[in-house]
């Protein structure tokens, strides 16, 4: 009894002192943060404080495969199945947007208890360069084409609230009664946040709340997609030759938007594409310009940026293939766009292998960082500067929808 009274008196005194002297509370919090995160703090602005302690995600995809527990289908068993198809037969964003669309659509397939199909034919069949990994999304593609139009429904899920709201409560197993549901999706974060509130998801996707949105992207993109052997071998050979098996691979991604090399792209505004942005990235990359220790690869949508990199970085490397936006150019020159798709896939997989990775705002680069799976050597451009960051900072700073 005496021990309990003493404990209560101690707690009461501590609370009183913290309330009376707020600085004690601040000091206590700072002490805890210093012990846990270390003394290195990066301040991007007055509202966002970031700690440079690496966050490693890369959860075990084989454990995830057991959790997801989907029975594989073969071509013979497609008949009689309910199917959900992710497609892009018109403008639906670049490869980064499409990756997020694929993940969102796959979750909807799980939620509605449907067999999942990816049918990306624009600018050319993505299966030319990408294979299914642990789930074969190609098996029923041909069968989908045999389903009559009156037994097919196309659903668009965008970023506006009216299109997202039903995801929080809808029972799609009942409400989607057509054999084939074709989904066109232009969102990820909002879809994920809505699905986590859907009571049906607790039953159909019980593991969903176990992982963060970052981890889901990491797992799903590895679970569903793997580069074809030719692409994989090209990538492996390119890295080995470039690094000579000993140099560090330093990578950057600068997204410009509409420019002479990419005239059909969108203008994304001065906030993201002013000259200081490029200068800030190059200032960081020049710290790794020693050819005996590093090689620098810069992915970009601008020949001007490429040429500048060549002029200031003695250890700069690049594929030097024609710059193409796979969405914007696909209706102008399909062959050229298909070659561009290969380049995009090559460059993103390359970014996942980098020892150091410097990003500007784009889903393409963000997804590369998520697949890479850790924050060591990660830098983000923000408000005119490049600073060390964690994977968790990407969404907080760039605010993708």
More confident residue, 327 or 220: 220
Q: Where are the alpha helices (DSSP H) in 260-388?
A: 270-273, 275-285, 303-312, 334-351, 363-372
Buried b (16+ CB within 10 A) or exposed e, 144-163: beebeeeeeeebebeeeeeb
- Give the pLDDT confidence score for residue 20 in this predicted structure: 41
Helix (H) / strand (E) element for 235: namely helix 229-243
Closest by CA to 214, choosing from 47, 389, 372, is 372
Looking at the chain, the whole-number percentage of residues with pLDDT higher than 70 is 77
Alpha carbon distance 152, 178 (integer Å): 6
Buried b (16+ CB within 10 A) or exposed e, 186-210: bbbebbbebbeebebbeebbeebee
Tally DSSP H helices, then E strands, for the chain: 17, 14
Supply angle C-alpha 128, 325, 183, rounded to 5.
65
Looking at residues 133-160, what average pLDDT do you find?
A: 93
Dig out the tokens for 91 from the structure: 């403008």
Beta partners for 330? none
Alpha carbon distance 30, 17 (integer Å): 17
Model confidence pLDDT, tens digit, residues 24-68:
444 444 444 333 333 333 333 323 333 334 445 567 888 888 888
- Give the pLDDT confidence score for residue 48 in this predicted structure: 32
Closest by CA to 324, choosing from 264, 367, 365, is 264
- Give the pLDDT confidence score for residue 267 in this predicted structure: 59
Model confidence pLDDT, tens digit, residues 263-274:
566 656 555 444
Residues 350/297, Cβ–Cβ less than 8 Å: yes
Model confidence pLDDT, tens digit, residues 191-211:
999 999 999 999 899 999 899
Residues 242/317, Cβ–Cβ less than 8 Å: yes
Q: Could you give phi then psi for residue 155, rounded to 5 degrees?
A: -120, 130
Alpha carbon distance 189, 202 (integer Å): 18
Beta partners for 374? 56
pTM for the model: 0.82
Alpha carbon distance 50, 130 (integer Å): 36
Closest by CA to 343, choosing from 89, 95, 92, 90, is 95
Alpha carbon distance 100, 102 (integer Å): 5
- Give the pLDDT confidence score for residue 58 in this predicted structure: 63
């Amino acid at each position: 009894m005496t021990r309990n009274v003493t404990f209560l008196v101690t707690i009461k005194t501590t609370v009183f002192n913290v309330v009376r002297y707020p600085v004690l509370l601040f000091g206590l919090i700072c002490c805890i943060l210093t012990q846990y995160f270390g003394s290195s703090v990066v301040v991007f602005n007055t509202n966002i404080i970031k700690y440079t302690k690496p966050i490693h995600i890369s959860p075990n995809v084989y454990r995830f495969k057991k959790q997801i527990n989907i029975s594989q289908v073969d071509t013979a068993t497609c008949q009689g199945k309910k199917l959900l198809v992710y497609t892009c037969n018109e403008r639906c964003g670049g490869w980064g947007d499409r990756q997020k669309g694929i993940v969102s659509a796959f979750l909807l397939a799980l939620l509605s208890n449907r067999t999942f199909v990816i049918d990306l034919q624009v600018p050319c069949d993505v299966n030319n360069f990408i294979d299914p990994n642990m789930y074969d999304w190609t098996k029923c593609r041909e069968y989908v084409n045999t389903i009559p139009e009156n037994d097919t429904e196309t659903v668009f899920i965008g970023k506006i609230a009216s299109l997202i709201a039903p995801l929080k409560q809808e029972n799609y197993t009942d409400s989607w009664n057509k054999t084939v549901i074709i989904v066109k999706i232009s969102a990820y974060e909002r879809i994920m946040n809505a699905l986590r509130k859907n009571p049906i998801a607790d039953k159909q996707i019980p593991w969903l709340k176990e992982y963060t949105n970052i981890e889901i992207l990491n797992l799903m993109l590895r679970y569903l997609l793997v580069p074809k052997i030719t692409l994989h071998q090209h990538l492996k050979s390119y890295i080995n030759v470039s690094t000579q098996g000993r140099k560090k691979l330093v990578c950057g991604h600068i997204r410009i938007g509409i420019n002479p090399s990419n005239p059909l792209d969108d203008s994304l505004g001065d906030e993201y594409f002013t000259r200081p942005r490029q200068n800030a990235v190059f200032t960081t990359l020049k710290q790794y310009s020693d050819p005996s220790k590093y090689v620098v690869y810069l992915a970009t949508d601008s020949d001007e940026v490429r040429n500048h990199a060549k002029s200031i970085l003695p250890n700069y490397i690049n594929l030097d293939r024609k710059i193409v936006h796979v969405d914007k150019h696909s209706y102008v020159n399909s062959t050229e766009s298909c070659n561009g798709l290969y380049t995009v896939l090559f460059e993103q997989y390359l970014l996942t292998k980098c020892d150091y990775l410097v990003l500007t705002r784009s889903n393409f680069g963000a997804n590369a960082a998520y697949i890479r799976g850790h924050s060591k050597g990660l830098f983000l451009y923000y408000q005119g500067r490049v600073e060390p960051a964690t994977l968790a900072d990407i969404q907080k700073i760039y605010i993708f929808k």
